Amino acid sequence: MLAVAAGPAGAQAPPVCHDHAAPPGPAAVEEGPTPMAPLPVQDPAVGGPALGSCDLALPAGAPAVPAGIDAAGWVVADLDSGAVLAARDAHGRQRPASTLKLLTTLVVLDKLPLDQVVTGDLTDVQVDGSRAGIGPGGTYSVQQLLSGLLLNSGNDTAHALARTLGGVPRTLELMQQRAAAMGALDTRPATPSGLDGPGMSTSAYDLALLFRAALRNPTFAELTQTRLVQFPGFGTHAGFMLSNDDPLLRSYDGALGGKTGFTDAARHTFVGAAKRDGRRIVVALVRGEQQPVRMVAQASALLDYGFAMPTGLAAVGTLVEQAPVTETPTTSSPGTPGGPAGVVPESSPLGWVIAALILVVGLATGVGYIVRRARETKDDPGQK
């Protein structure tokens, strides 16, 4: 059980949040020699102005936040109402690592039949990082590939699904469109797997949005709680059992599932949810460490905190259902050290659409770097 640290009863956003434009350094080599221009920073923040805080956003009268939460940003929200109960730097942009596979999953569920058969090829096997174990000539249903993507965080299955969607550039375009439409405006994908790439970013707020949207899909809801599943072999290789790598599912009573992530540049990321006494809470954490408190313990403590939050307290924000329509200009924020400090475009009622189109062009220029992906041996190194 984590100790309890004192915290303010409320939080006010400072005038400039330096991590709200782009993830902090050091950059991954896969991001290329020239940083991409940052995404527009939304002002007011998506979900409510209090979520624009660089620090804690808590309702008046809230209990103290548990000690030992070292993640740079986190969000605790009611999964059903969308009320954000507490947050720290909710819109601070960080690299997502494999939590981005949630966005890949949403696109796949939108676009591909679950029973469509996909044949593995050599390019799937050659991807960097964690693999579920598909092989050249093996045949897999889309649902089986999603099992490998979500349970075992397979970058090989991410690549196979991207091929099936029309190729990596087309998949990234679809992912960007999906994120923009749902209001995940801190999110820019550079790879379908979450391995680092040019301009990649997300936020704790966006991860909570993505998980909430995914959990509404019955296929995802079932897969994310699946502990073991039979996976096909290929050639002379026999089939085998895939186990779910999610530590929350194994350790937290009432867990509904979750997704881990890790790269050297992103550090540790996590998003997951649980149910207790009829209430469902989602937590998202970005740029955390495994020491002194493991990420699963940090997530568990925030879940406990959310369940213990008195129901009568006012929310500090909300998880939106779609991109906000606003005539308020976005703000420009300085880039991270070593990066450009450019002016970002102003928004309009259709500003997020324009931004999405700009991003697609930017992604196309960065595809050359995708093959030089960050190595990701495990989403949660050292985890048993």
Per the CB < 8 A criterion, the answer to whether 376 and 132 are in contact is: no
Element (H, E) at 76: strand 73-78
The encoded tokens of residue 340 equal 């450009």
Per the CB < 8 A criterion, the answer to whether 9 and 297 are in contact is: no
- Cα–Cα distances in Å, from 277 out to 100, 130, 184, 280, 336? 30, 36, 29, 8, 43
Determine the Cα–Cα distance for residues 282 and 221; give it in Å rounded to an integer: 13
Annotated active-site positions, please? Answer: 98, 101, 153
Q: State whether the Cα torsion 298-299-302-307 is positive or negative.
A: negative
